[in-house]
């Protein structure tokens, strides 16, 4: 094990973030996280009581970072239609930076079962917050329009990951703006 510097708890979270997002939760062994983080096994269990608690920390941090990025993109616009356009631009930017890896939450969702209630709750809360965020931009629109924009946004995430291409984001963006 190569000794690394810095806060072991943060190194564990950073390492788990990279591995869970790129490899998946079940494909990532706890030994790999420990080794790549450069920490002792005891350090892992000092900071995270289980692999699932490390997953929950990853999802919670991902939520904070992802929503902050989305807000940063949309804050630059002043009109609701421009803010929605900027939200789709955020997806395009994410696709480029993350090589079309898709939504961390949906990727983890595909690995869950009905027994993973804590994980499912975090994923649902992320999606509820995203839906509310988009809905707040569209305060003057009917609920049906808000729902359609949200669903277009979500489908753009999934389809761009599937095709590893920006066209789903671009087309969903056009459709969403057409609704407004």
Domain boundaries defined on the chain = 1-48, 59-179
Helix (H) or strand (E) holding 175: helix 167-179
The pTM of this model reads 0.93
Helix (H) or strand (E) holding 144: helix 143-163
- Given a cut of 50, whether residue 1 has pLDDT beyond it is no
Kindly state which CATH superfamily the domain 1-48 is placed in: Homeodomain-like (1.10.10.60)
Close Cβ partners of 114 (under 8 Å, ≥ 6 residues apart): none
pLDDT category, 134, cuts 50, 70, 90? very high
Average pLDDT, the chain: 96
Distances (CA, A) of 59 to 84, 96, 123, 152: 24, 21, 8, 23
The answer to whether the beta carbons of residues 91 and 153 sit under 8 Å apart is yes
- Given a cut of 90, whether residue 6 has pLDDT beyond it is no
Determine the pLDDT at residue 42: 92
């Amino acid at each position: 094990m190569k000794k690394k510097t810095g806060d072991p708890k943060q190194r564990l979270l950073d390492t788990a973030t990279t591995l869970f997002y790129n490899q998946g939760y079940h494909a990532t062994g706890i030994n790999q996280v420990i080794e790549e983080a450069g920490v002792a096994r005891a350090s892992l269990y000092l900071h995270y009581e289980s692999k699932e608690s490390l997953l929950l920390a990853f999802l919670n941090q991902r939520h904070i970072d992802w929503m902050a990025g989305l807000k940063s993109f949309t804050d630059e616009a002043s009109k609701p239609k421009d803010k929605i356009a900027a939200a789709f631009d955020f997806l395009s930017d994410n696709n480029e930076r993350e090589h079309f890896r898709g939504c961390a939450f949906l990727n983890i969702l595909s690995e869950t079962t009905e027994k993973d209630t804590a994980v499912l709750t975090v994923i649902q809360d992320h999606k509820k917050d995203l839906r509310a965020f988009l809905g707040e931009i569209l305060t003057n629109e009917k609920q049906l329009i808000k729902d359609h924009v949200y669903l277009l946004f979500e489908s753009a995430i999934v389809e761009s990951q599937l095709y590893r291409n920006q066209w789903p984001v671009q087309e969903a963006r056009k459709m969403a703006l057409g609704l407004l």
